[in-house]
Amino acid sequence: MLSIKELYVSVEGQEILKGINLEVKPGEVHALMGPNGSGKSTLANVLAGKEEYEVTHGEVTYQGEELLEMAPEDRAKSGLFLSFQYPVEIPGVPMVNFLKTAVNEHRKHKGGKPLTAGEFLKLMREKKELVEMDTQLTNRSVNEGFSGGEKKKNEIFQMALLEPKLAILDETDSGLDIDALKIVANGVNALKSENNSTIVVTHYQRLLDYIVPDYVHVLYDGRIVKTAGKELAMALEEKGYDWIKQENGN
């Protein structure tokens, strides 16, 4: 599904990622943990195609293609989905227009016909239930006036509509109360299959109680310094990140 080899990334001349290696196979759930500033969000954004990041070295293959050569919209249409840590508000762009355009772009890419307005509304109703999304929210502009929790739910709602092959959840749990967290996790789990994969970027083990990872990676200072099973998340929750920092000579 995804193969990252020796990835080095800089932002405004400062090196953030310093040789990332990661293999994600279909059906797998990977958790990416690590202290603040370790490079987790940078990795998520680079994979989605954000332009201000400069890849100085390394390669990323996604479904056999050079991911870094692809435009963000092409990555999305090929099934890569980033759930944003901070979803932006876009006043004046109605949710429904935005979602319908996105869904139909995906369908077009797969050689399908665009959905009619009626078909789309039906699909939207279906997926809304999955994340218990307030019906009123889709009558607004994109994320405009949404609470923190609603924005995160909206990300998973979009994920449900677009049915990605590889979902990257960038701190989708931050700012969520326990009920919202469960709803979001249930949504993610409901979309899981043996063909698609998930990368969960998080600070906390809490989310991993609901979305159980096959692998846990610890990112520190731009590198993956530890990889293990889900028990690693428990250890981090208990002991914090200090022992990781010490092991890595800081």
Of the ranges 34-42, 66-74, 209-217, 229-237, which one interacts with another protein (CB under 8 A)?
66-74
Give the SS3 label for residue 148.
helix
Lay out the site mask for another protein across 87-126 (x = CB under 8 A, - = otherwise). Answer: xxxxxxx---xx--xx--xx--x-----------------
- Binding of another protein by 142 (CB under 8 A): yes
9 vs 233, beta carbon nearer another protein: 9
b/e per residue 130-145 (b: at least 16 CB within 10 A): bbebeeebbebbbbee
Cα separation, 197 vs 18, whole angstroms: 24
CB of 20 to another protein, least distance (A): 20
- Binding of another protein by 140 (CB under 8 A): no
Give the SS3 label for residue 67.
helix
Cα separation, 201 vs 24, whole angstroms: 14
Reference 48, options 209, 166, 146; nearest CA is 166
- Binding of another protein by 72 (CB under 8 A): yes
Of the ranges 81-89, 189-197, 211-219, 238-246, which one interacts with another protein (CB under 8 A)?
81-89
First vs last C-alpha separation in the chain:
34
Q: Quick count: other Cβ atoms within 10 Å of Cβ 247?
A: 12
161 vs 236, beta carbon nearer another protein: 161
- Binding of another protein by 127 (CB under 8 A): no
Structure tokens given for 79: 């099934």
Q: Given candidates 12, 51, 177, 194, which one binds another protein under the rule CB under 8 A?
A: 51
Cα separation, 75 vs 60, whole angstroms: 12
Q: Of residues 190-229, which lie at the interface with another protein (CB under 8 A)?
A: none
Give contact residues for another protein (rule: CB under 8 A).
Answer: 48-51, 71-73, 75-77, 82, 84, 87-93, 97-98, 101-102, 105-106, 109, 141-142, 158, 162
